[in-house]
Structure 1
Amino acid sequence: MNISRRALCGAAVLAATDLLSFHVLATPSAPKIRVGILKFGTVNWELDTIKHHKFDLANGIDVEIVYFAGEDASNVAMLAGDLDIIVSDWLWVSRQRSQGADLTLAPYSTAVGAIMVKDDASIRAIPDLAGKKIGVTGGSLDKSWLLIQGLARRDHKMDLTRESEIVFGAPPLLSEKAVSGELDAVLNFWHFCARLEANGFRRLVGADDAAKALGASGPVSALGYVFHDKWANENPNVTMGFLQASGAAKKLLAQSDAEWQRLAPIVRAEGRELEVLRDRYRQGIPDRPIAEEEKDAAKLYAILAELGGEKLVGGAPQMAPGTFWALKT
């Protein structure tokens, strides 16, 4: 039979299990799950929480973290079968499925980037970006950038790529240029935005604002845990064990400020900056039925396919069926 996506979301992502009731159940033969992540990515925070509190062992698995220097390397290793799980977005998963791969995804985080400006900047709305110098992380096909462009075109008849000066670059470099005043505004990844927010910047418009304005009924996970359909459906207990461990870590991070203090050296933040990162992370914890996220992702996919064309989505104008995982037993 099929276990519904709603049941999956409730069991794994929300992780309603009382944290204090966890007991280590693993044996020396607990299945090992190889999870590939970027060395300094935010996923480290959750995986460190899983390992520190032995949430993996409590759910009958043993998580092995494999570090990579870049996303391309982890993607290649995933496609080659050298990893069990990575973190990526549903656009990439859908494109791989449309080309014959059996990758699928379970929601990880709805946290997305935003255009940030200094607190005292005269920029108050999208039209104020005309003639301004905007730094953009992720390249011209970054989905946050495309969604904000789509919103600007629809609501303000404004082409940001023509009416503003766009500078592409690496996240830390663009943040530095924004702080120094070399940029009037910057669109960065969510955690860089949070650091800016704690240091004299404010959000002008977020990719989440654009997504809702363009038709999404609620937050859509920007990233998910990605794995092969075949592997997950042949190992349902292992897969669910990982998702339940993830849910337990998310619950702890949602409730415990002390846990964030423990993570401070890994997060590389303290004081106000750590607090804003904590709060933005918590806002990004998925809390909707997975079927609703899938429906909204399909809407956004169609918009992104129109804006980004074949360079973004290949030859598939619609999101591939099965992009979001449904357990089959």
Structure 2
Amino acid sequence: MLISRRSVIGVMGLALAGAAVTWNGPAMANGNVRIGVLKFGTVSWELDTIKHHGLDAANGVDLEIAYFAGEDATNVALLAGDIDMIVTDWLWVSRQRSAGEDVTLVPYSSAVGAIMVKDDSPIRAPADLVGRKIGVAGGPLDKSWLLLQAFYQRDHGIDLAARDTVVFGAPPLISEKAIQGELDAALNYWHFCARLEANGFRRLVGASDAAMALGAKGPVAAIGYVFHEQWAHDHPRAIGGFVKASAAAKQLLATSDDEWLRLAPLVQAEGKELEILRDRYREGIPTRPVAEEEADAARLYRVLAEIGGEKLVGQAREMAPGTFWPGLGT
């Protein structure tokens, strides 16, 4: 959805690898930070960690969480000024910037989906997927699906969309059909893949593998905390405090298994499934400088623009400058 109404808001979080956040003021509240997220999204795990341990107050902010039923609703709310921050991908941010908005992002997670097959499946190598029935979460313009198509075309000379029977659907449905054996393989979002992995599935090839094959130098954040640039410059204490709170939550989630046990009811997993979700989440914590993330995203943008066309990226053939926020030091 492309909306061009500008609003002066923003906020973000995350361990801002490489960005120059310079505020070191006292831990005193300076206003609310309003974030809009999907009610059952994985971002809630980090936000719950922030609130449970008072990491927002300890860093001078008061985090307010608003839950939405769908991603389009969060996008509209951000651009309308009803909330300060959302979590979405850099393609959306770039398209909005190309239309005149000043939205920007800080990397949140590089965890991405993969093509999953059952442990006993005869599909062992990427080329074995040809002629199969594959379920794809989302639609034809899903980024992981486009990257994997480009990977198959370049490295194997295979037009995967033409050679396979492709079924698109909602993530829970795709997983259920795969479990029932109605699909030979399933491409799903990372946390659905993790749950499949805990229930007799293995990875064939991941979107991250495709990204690296297509020119990325390291893991690229799939999504980020998105906010308005002007707000960040006008409210350095709020933005800096939220960055620190998010970094602290990420550190806790990266090192404490007990924290994941506390989160188990929210994650809706236990035992092996919880452990795999925990490990895959940790693998997706960004650690690279923002400049490196941005350079790789720009490379992948060109690939996605070529295969996805105007329906995916609009008229801009290059990622908009400023899509990744460099920090308060600029």
Bin of the TM-score, shorter chain as denominator length: over 0.9
Secondary structure of the residue aligned to 2:17 is: helix
Once residues 168 and 20 of structure 2 are traced to their aligned partners in structure 1, the CA distance between those partners, rounded to angstroms, is 37
Instruction: Give the distance between the partners of 1:195 and 1:93, measured in 2 at CA.
Output: 29
Corresponding residue for 2:178?
Answer: 178
* Counterpart in the other structure of 1:3: none
Give runs of aligned pairs for residues 218-233 of structure 1, distance below 5 A: 218-233=218-233
**8 Å Cα contact 1:12-1:240 kept in structure 2:** no
SS of equivalent residue, structure 2 residue 100 = coil
Q: Which amino acid aligns with 1:301?
A: Y
Superposed, 1:265-284 pairs within 5 Å as 265-284=265-284
Q: What's 2:286 paired with?
A: 286
| Structure richer in helix, relative to its length | 1
CA drift of 1:10 comes to: 4.4
SS at match of 1:9: coil
Aligned residue in 2 for 1:25? 27
Q: Which runs of 5 or more residues in structure 1 are unaligned?
A: 1-6, 18-23
Partner in structure 1 of residue 299 of structure 2? 299
Secondary structure of 2:246's counterpart equals helix
Q: Say whether the 8 Å CA contact 1:55–1:248 is kept in structure 2.
A: yes
Displaced runs of 4+ in structure 1, greater than 6 A? none
Q: Which residue of 1 aligns with 2:17?
A: 9
Cα distance, 1:158 vs structure 2: 0.5
1:8 shift after superposition: 5.0
* C-alpha separation in 2, matches of 1:187 and 1:261: 28
Instruction: Map 1:1-329 to 2 at 5 A.
Output: 8-10=16-18, 25-27=27-29, 30-328=30-328
TM-score, length-normalised on structure 1? 0.92
Q: CA RMSD in A?
A: 1.6
1:130 CA drift (Å):
1.3
Offset, 1:125: 1.7
CA contact (8 A) 1:33 1:61 kept: yes
Q: Distance in 2 between matches of 1:301 and 1:66?
A: 30
Q: Matches of 1:118 and 1:8 in 2, distance apart?
A: 37
Q: Aligned AA for 1:45? A: W
- 1:33-85 deviations in whole A, cap 9, x for unaligned? 00000000000000000000010001100000000000000000011111111
Query: Structure 1: how far apart are the matches of 2:20 and 2:133?
Result: 43
**Percent same amino acid at aligned positions?**
70
Q: Does the 8 Å CA contact 2:37/2:87 hold for their aligned counterparts?
A: yes
Partner SS for 2:108? strand
Q: Which runs of 5+ in 2 are unaligned?
A: 1-14
| Paired amino acid for 2:196 | L
How far is the alpha carbon of 1:233 from its aligned partner?
Answer: 1.0
Give secondary structure in 2 for the equivalent of 1:87.
Answer: strand
* Equivalent residues of 1:12, 1:243 under 8 A apart: no
| 8 Å contact kept, 2:114–2:205 | yes
TM-score, length of structure 2 as denominator length: 0.92
* Residues 214-260 of structure 1: per-residue CA shift (max 9 Å, x gap): 00000000000000011111111211111111110000000000000
Identify the residue that residue 7 of structure 2 maps to in structure 1: none
1:112–1:12 CA distance, 2 compared to 1 (3 A): farther
Q: Is the 8 A contact 2:290 2:326 kept in 1?
A: no
Most deviating of 121-130 and 62-71: 121-130
Q: Are 2:20 and 2:326, in contact at CA under 8 Å, matched by a contact in 1? A: no
Q: What SS does the aligned partner of 1:238 have?
A: helix
